[in-house]
């Protein structure tokens, strides 16, 4: 993925263990079962949506949910063999879809071979220094006879020592094998905000030496995203905008979304010319259709997703407004199987909106990497501009039920004509620097100056 292709990328996100209907636990002795074929069968749906990049959640051999890695060098046997994953990657490439996999490098599961060695051999293990804060004067809830660093109090996830050269070499060797064996195009770095910064820099240099366009996406929840760009990452998850996209709709307060976008991408924006990975839901948060108070807001939410700066991503099934909430005991509702999805009712109106928006994102360079400027901000209406040297596009949304007319200052006293590329057949004239734009309820316009 080069810089321009990343800006033009349209991601689909699949959590494979759930999507493929894999068993909840790995027994580590059963032969691989090719469940990757469920993803292969889904390729036509991805193509229908205009997808050209697939982010696959954990595929390394693991104990249960995938983020508890047991072996970095093999696909999870519950999903298939190396040959099965090769077949999937080749099918995706033939369909024009690049493969990005989850890299879980902050921690491993208790079944990871080096951690098992520490459990078995205690102070005599050669791998004690592979993990952080191993202390034989303490104990764990599993009564191991020692305590150890973990991820946010989850003792099933042992924290790796990313300052140990042997650990680094083991991880980099695994990354190289996945690039060489499967020709993957990138890695999404789980909990990148907790990863050793020197490790991130080394990983960036290492991967780009093998494949100059290799794409590193960091999962960052909060803080200054620039810190991670400085470490060599190509994109960062945009959790700040994610929150604003749904809460601005629910609170009927589009000022929230406008403020966030201006702060990130405006004239003095923190992330001008930086690539942020934009989403409205994923495998860790409630489905957008369950978060919005009014289902009619799904359309304007996605208009913003596709027209704001950055890389849009769709979580599998959400193109049909699939619902799902996490509960105290399980994430299953967020991570259903393909077979379960096929039985669910589908919102094809939303799917058609996404298809249209994806096509417009692909066609117009101003929507891909153009500048950003707020034009009109009200509680229930919002208009902004995307622009390059030779394109000017005005996006307007209205989240009220009734149609509203926005008076938009075009900052040009010359009269001009704007064509609506979202609603073909509609044109409007700006008169003496003002474009009066009627916008239907729960809908929007995407206007190109001609």
pLDDT tens digits, the chain, 450 residues: what are they?
544 444 489 999 999 999 999 999 999 999 999 999 999 999 999 999 999 999 999 999 999 999 999 999 999 999 999 999 999 999 999 999 999 999 999 999 999 999 999 999 999 999 999 999 999 999 999 999 999 999 999 999 999 999 999 999 999 999 999 999 999 999 999 999 999 999 999 999 999 999 999 999 999 999 999 999 999 999 999 999 999 999 999 999 999 999 999 999 999 999 999 999 999 999 999 999 999 999 999 999 999 999 999 999 999 999 999 999 988 778 889 999 999 999 999 999 999 999 999 999 999 999 999 999 999 999 999 999 999 999 999 999 999 999 999 999 987 666 889 999 999 999 999 998 899 999 999 999 999 999
| Buried residues in 12-24 as b, exposed as e (16+ CB within 10 A) | bbbbbbbbbebee
Q: Count how many residues are written for the chain.
A: 450
Domain ranges of the chain: 3-368, 370-449
DSSP for residue 333: G
Question: What does the alpha-carbon distance between residue 450 and residue 447 come to, in Å, rounded to a whole number?
Answer: 9
Res 433: pLDDT: 87
Question: What does the alpha-carbon distance between residue 450 and residue 434 come to, in Å, rounded to a whole number?
Answer: 15
Question: What does the alpha-carbon distance between residue 312 and residue 149 come to, in Å, rounded to a whole number?
Answer: 35
Residue 370 φ/ψ region, left for φ over 0, alpha for ψ in the -120 to 50 degree band, beta for the rest = beta
Q: How far apart, in Å, are the Cα atoms of 82 and each of 29, 56, 70, 241?
A: 16, 15, 16, 37
CB atoms within 10 A of CB 167: 20
Tell me the pTM: 0.96
CB atoms within 10 A of CB 162: 20
CATH architecture, range 3-368: Alpha-Beta Barrel (3.20)
Phi, psi values for residue 206, rounded to 5°: -65, -50
Res 1: pLDDT: 55
Give the bridge partners for 33, in sequence order: none
Give the bridge partners for 387, in sequence order: 371, 392
SS3 114: helix
CB neighbour list of residue 268: distance below 8 Å, 6 or more residues apart? none
- Structure tokens belonging to residue 89: 């990657």
Res 6: pLDDT: 42
**What CATH code would you report for 370-449?**
2.60.40.1180
Beta pairing class for 186-189 and 154-159: unpaired
């Amino acid at each position: 993925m080069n810089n321009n292709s990343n800006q033009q990328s349209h991601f689909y996100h699949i959590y494979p263990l759930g999507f493929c209907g894999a068993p909840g636990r790995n027994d580590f002795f059963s032969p691989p079962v090719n469940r990757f074929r469920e993803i292969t069968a889904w390729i036509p749906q991805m193509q229908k949506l205009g997808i050209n990049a697939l982010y696959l959640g954990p595929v390394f051999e693991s104990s249960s949910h995938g983020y508890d890695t047991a072996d970095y060098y093999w696909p999870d046997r519950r999903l298939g063999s190396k040959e099965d994953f090769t077949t999937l990657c080749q099918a995706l490439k033939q369909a024009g879809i690049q493969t990005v996999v989850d890299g879980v490098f902050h921690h491993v599961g208790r079944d990871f071979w080096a951690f098992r060695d520490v459990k078995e051999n205690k102070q005599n293990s050669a791998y004690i220094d592979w993990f952080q804060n191993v202390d034989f004067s303490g104990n764990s809830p599993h009564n191991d006879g020692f305590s150890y660093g973990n991820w946010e109090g989850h003792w099933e996830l042992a924290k790796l020592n990313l300052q140990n050269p042997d650990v680094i070499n083991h991880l980099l060797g695994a990354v190289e094998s996945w690039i060489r064996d499967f020709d993957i195009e990138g890695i999404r770095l789980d909990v990148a905000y907790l990863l050793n910064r020197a490790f991130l820099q080394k990983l960036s240099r290492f991967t780009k030496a093998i494949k100059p366009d290799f794409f590193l996406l960091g999962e960052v929840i909060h803080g200054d995203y620039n810190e991670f760009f400085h470490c060599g990452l190509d994109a960062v998850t945009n959790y700040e905008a994610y929150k604003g996209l749904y809460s601005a709709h629910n609170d009927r307060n589009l000022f929230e979304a406008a403020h966030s976008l201006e702060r990130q991408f405006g004239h003095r924006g923190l992330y001008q010319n930086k690539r942020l990975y934009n989403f409205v839901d994923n495998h860790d948060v409630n489905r957008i259709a369950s978060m919005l108070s009014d289902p009619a807001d799904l359309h304007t939410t996605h208009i913003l997703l596709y027209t704001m700066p950055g890389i849009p991503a769709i979580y599998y099934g959400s193109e049909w407004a699939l619902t799902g909430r996490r509960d105290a005991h399980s994430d299953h509702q967020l991570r259903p199987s393909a077979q379960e999805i096929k039985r669910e009712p589908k919102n094809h109106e939303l799917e058609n909106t996404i298809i249209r928006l994806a096509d417009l994102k692909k066609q117009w360079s101003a929507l891909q990497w153009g500048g950003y400027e707020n034009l009109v901000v009200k509680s229930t209406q919002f208009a902004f501009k995307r622009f390059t040297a030779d394109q000017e596009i005005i996006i307007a949304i209205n989240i009220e039920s009734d149609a509203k007319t926005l008076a938009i200052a075009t900052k040009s006293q010359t009269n001009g004509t704007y064509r609506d590329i979202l609603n073909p057949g509609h044109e409007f004239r700006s008169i003496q620097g003002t474009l009066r734009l009627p916008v239907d309820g729960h809908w929007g316009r995407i206007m190109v100056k001609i």
